[in-house]
Copies of this chain bind each other. A is one copy, B any other.
Amino acid sequence: MTELERIERIRRSAGKAKGMTLGIGDDCAIFQPKPGEELLFTTDMLIEGVHFLRDTHSPADIGHKALARGLSDIAAMGGVPKFCLLSLAVPSTTTDRWLDSFYKGLLDLAKRTQTPLAGGDLAHADKITCDIIVCGSTPAGTALRRSGAKPGDQICVSGTLGGSALGFATKKGAAWKRHLRPEPRLKLGVLLREKLHATSCMDLSDGLSIDLHRLCLASKVSADLDGDLPSFPGASIQQFLHGGEDYELLFTVMKSVELPGQIAGVPVTRIGTVRKGHPGQVKLDEFLILPMGYDHFRTP
C-alpha cells in the first residue's frame, strides 16, 4: 500500500470529520472555532519500548491508549474534545492488519468521545512512534489549571490509584485491563469546571507523588495527605503513591464544597488539604513524600 492509499484508507475509516471545515488529505486540516470558545491543545507521545511493548500490547490497545492520553489532558482542564491529529511512524515491516487494528482502537475511542481524526503525518521509523494532538474547548476564561489551588482547599482524586502500575507488574486481571485501556475522565472534568468550580486540576499520568508535587509547585502551595487513600484493590502503597498512567483526575475544591461520593459515575475521594508552606512539598502523616513518579529526564 502506498502512502496515498494508506491515507485514503484512514480517511475513509475515520469518516467525515464532523465540525471540521477540512479533514484528512490536504496540507493542513481546517477548523472553524465558535465565538467565545477558548481552545486547548495537548500533544502526547507513545513510543514502543518506552510506553509499551509490542509483545504485550495489541495494536488496538496502543491506538486506544495513544488517544486516551491526549483526551485525559483535555479532561484535566474541563474541556470538551473537538478533534485530534495523529503523527505515526512505524517500521516498514508493519502489516496492513496491524495498522488497521491500531486505527480501529484509536477511532473507536474517537467516535465514542466525538473527537474526529482530522489529519496528521505518516512516516517510517525503527520503533512504533505515535504522537497524538488533541484540541478541546471551554468557554473563554474557564479552563481548569494547575495553578489555582489555595491553602485550605480540599485535595481530591477520582477513581482509584495504583491500578495501572499493579497491572503493569502482574499483567493480569482488572489491573492489567486498567493499564491497557485507561478511560479519560471527560464528563467528570466538565462537571468539575461547571458544577464544583474546582480551583485546580490535572491528570495523573506520572504518579500521584510527582503530579501533586507539580500541582503544588504551580500553585505555590504544599499538600498534606490526610484523607482516605483510594487504592486500586491489591495495589501497594508504593503503587498508589508513585505508580503512573492511572489517568484519573487530581483536583482541588474550596473547603466549603460538599464533595459527592461520585460524579458522572466515577467515585471521587478527598485525600488531603492544601497548605501554605514550602511550594511543592507533599506530606503524608508528617512524612515527606518525595516525587518518585515517572520523569523522562531524570538522570538515572
> B42, B119, B299: which contacts A41 (Cβ < 8 A)?
B119
In Å, the complex CA distance between A298 and B32 comes to 34
Q: Does A147 contact B (CB under 8 A)?
A: yes
Please tell me if the beta carbons of A27 and B297 are within 8 angstroms of each other in the complex.
Answer: no
The 0/1 profile, CB within 8 Å of B marked 1, for residues 61-97 of chain A is 0000000000001101101000001110100100000
CA distance A122 to B297 in the complex (A): 8
Interface size on A, residues (CB 8 A): 72
CB of A1 within 8 A of CB of B299, answer yes
A118 within 8 A of B: yes
Q: Please state if B87 and A30 are interface contacts (CB–CB under 8 Å).
A: no
In the complex, whether A127 has a CB less than 8 A from a CB of chain B is yes
| A202 close to chain B: CB less than 8 A | yes
User: CB-CB contacts of A135-150 with B at 8 A, as 1s and 0s?
Assistant: 1100010010111000
Residues of B within 8 A of A147 (CB): 26
Q: How far apart sit A118 and B214, CA to CA, in the bound complex (Å)? A: 18
Tell which of A44-52, A170-178, A263-271 binds the partner: A44-52
Closest to A300 in B: B92
Give A299 to B2 CA distance when docked, in angstroms: 7
**A285 proximal to B (CB < 8 A):** no
The reply to whether the CB of A196 lies closer than 8 angstroms to some CB of chain B is no
> Are the C-beta atoms of A28 and B131 separated by less than 8 Å?
no
A202 — which chain B residues lie within 8 A by C-beta?
A: 26-27
